[in-house]
């Protein structure tokens, strides 16, 4: 396998996402960590982004609701090198109708070696890491793109 370098700058680009039952937990976490988060670029899905902005005063760029394409938008941003981290407070006890979208988002984060916090404890560990407020270069697997060359399909 080949590897590539991926640099996370000092000012992180962070997606904030939460399932409905976890929105209050994420909002409180953002409020409690406002002094740290205000120094980074924040985005989020639908209602989550708006509620975080309303309750904390943080500037959060909002996209569509997760089930309406917001999760896929964040996945696209990861694939295009526009995000450094996801804070996604998921609800492990409630079935989600858009679970395939969530799984696709987590999978693309794994492919591109993007840190994901899916609960408060992990989010706390990420933002208190010595690497969080500094530039960091990681060596990530460089997965091969599908072939775009000619293929022999026979006669």
Tens of pLDDT, residues 79-97: 999 999 999 998 886 766 6
Q: Are 42 and 14 in contact (CB under 8 A)?
A: yes
- The per-residue pLDDT for 91 is 85
Catalytic residue among 71, 99, 113, 152: 71
54 noted as active-site residue? no
Q: Are strands 3-8 and 136-141 parallel, antiparallel or unpaired?
A: antiparallel
Q: What is the pLDDT of residues 19-71, one digit of tens each?
A: 999 999 999 999 999 999 999 999 999 899 999 999 999 999 999 887 777 88
- Bridge partners, 89 (sequence order): 18
Task: Name the CATH architecture for the domain at 16-139.
Answer: 3-Layer(aba) Sandwich (3.40)
For residue 148, what are the β-bridge partners? none
- Name the pTM for this structure: 0.87
Q: What is the residue extent of each domain of the chain? A: 16-139
- Res 3: pLDDT: 82
**Interval 109-152: pLDDT, tens:** 999 999 999 999 999 999 999 999 999 998 877 776 665 666 66
């Amino acid at each position: 396998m080949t590897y590539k370098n991926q640099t996370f700058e000092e000012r992180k680009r962070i997606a904030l996402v939460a399932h409905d039952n976890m929105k209050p937990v994420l909002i409180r976490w953002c409020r409690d960590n406002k002094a740290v988060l205000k120094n980074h670029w924040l985005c989020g899905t639908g209602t989550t982004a708006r509620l975080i902005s309303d309750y904390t005063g943080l500037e959060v760029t909002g996209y569509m609701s997760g089930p309406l394409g917001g999760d896929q938008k964040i996945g696209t941003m990861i694939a295009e090198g526009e995000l450094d981290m996801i804070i996604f407070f998921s609800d492990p006890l409630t079935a989600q109708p858009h679970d395939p979208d969530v799984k696709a988002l987590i999978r693309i984060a794994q492919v591109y070696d993007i840190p994901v916090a899916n609960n408060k404890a992990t989010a706390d560990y990420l933002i208190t890491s010595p690497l969080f407020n500094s530039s960091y270069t990681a060596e990530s697997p460089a997965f091969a793109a599908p072939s775009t060359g000619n293929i022999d399909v026979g006669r």
